[in-house]
């Protein structure tokens, strides 16, 4: 018998233009979940403050408060799951702490948390960076010279992909379900189906 998904947090982790938002949109069609992609909260505040530490601090706190309210409002929410996308530097303790904190909001109430890491090679990510759906949803990416440089420089400076079984080692002991997918040659539809089948989300 398949386990019924009652309420959960599904986090799609990965570098810029790896396909988190498009996979999230496909998941949204297939399960009782709503997407919150990374730039929705960032761009909300950047529209007034620009891209600086004030913006990122407000963005982080807004997400955390939303997740807390979602758990507290169980039974009255408009969806069973939040599908959240985020970029993580695995060599930054603050990023790992952020993931643990948002997961604990759900885990402490005995709700499921799923971390799915998407990885693709750099050439594919540079192509995806120019996709119309990405540019429409994310105003800061429309300057392609800037956004392509961001993809390349962050790839060189930060560990934006887990090494080996790092994802599972970090988070599975906490009770978080983990999966890493190389979606270089996979469509968003295929990736979403892999996630659904793996975790029996239907």
**181 and 118 in contact (C-beta within 8 Å)?**
yes
First to last CA, the chain: 12
Distance, CA of 2 to CA of 13 (rounded, Å): 26
Distance, CA of 195 to CA of 27 (rounded, Å): 9
Per-residue pLDDT reduced to its tens digit, 36-73: 998 899 999 999 999 999 999 999 999 999 999 999 99
Length of the chain (residues): 202
**64 and 37 in contact (C-beta within 8 Å)?**
no
**39 and 140 in contact (C-beta within 8 Å)?**
yes
Q: What is the mean pLDDT of the chain?
A: 90
Residue entry with tokens 């192509």: 127
Query: How high is the pLDDT of residue 131?
Result: 74
Q: Is the pLDDT of residue 171 over 60?
A: yes
Per-residue pLDDT reduced to its tens digit, 63-88: 999 999 999 999 899 999 999 999 99
Residues sharing a CB contact under 8 Å with residue 162, sequence separation 6 or more, in sequence order: 90, 117, 170, 180
Give the least confident one: 6-15, 115-124, 151-160.
Answer: 151-160
**83 and 33 in contact (C-beta within 8 Å)?**
yes
**111 and 7 in contact (C-beta within 8 Å)?**
yes
Residues sharing a CB contact under 8 Å with residue 127, sequence separation 6 or more, in sequence order: none
Per-residue pLDDT reduced to its tens digit, 103-153: 999 999 999 999 999 999 988 888 877 777 765 666 666 667 667 777 778
Query: How high is the pLDDT of residue 169?
Result: 98
What's the predicted TM-score (pTM) here?
Answer: 0.88
Q: Is the pLDDT of residue 5 over 60?
A: no
Distance, CA of 63 to CA of 57 (rounded, Å): 10
């Amino acid at each position: 018998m398949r386990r019924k998904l009652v309420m959960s947090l599904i986090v799609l982790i990965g570098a810029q233009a790896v396909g988190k938002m498009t996979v999230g949109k496909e998941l949204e069609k297939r399960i009782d979940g709503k997407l919150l992609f990374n730039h929705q909260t960032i761009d909300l505040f950047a529209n007034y403050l620009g891209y600086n530490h004030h913006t990122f601090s407000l963005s982080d706190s807004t997400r955390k408060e939303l997740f807390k309210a979602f758990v507290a409002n169980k039974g009255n929410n408009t969806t069973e799951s939040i599908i959240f996308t985020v970029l993580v530097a695995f060599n930054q303790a603050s990023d790992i702490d952020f993931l643990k904190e948002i997961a604990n909001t759900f885990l402490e109430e005995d709700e499921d948390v799923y971390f799915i890491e998407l990885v693709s090679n750099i050439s594919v990510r540079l192509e995806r960076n120019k996709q119309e759906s990405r540019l429409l949803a994310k105003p800061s990416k429309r300057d392609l010279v800037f956004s392509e440089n961001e993809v390349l420089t962050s790839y060189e400076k930060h560990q934006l992909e887990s090494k080996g079984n790092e994802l599972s080692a970090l988070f599975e002991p906490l009770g978080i379900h983990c999966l890493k997918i190389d979606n270089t040659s996979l469509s968003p539809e295929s990736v979403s189906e892999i996630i659904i089948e793996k975790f029996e989300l239907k």
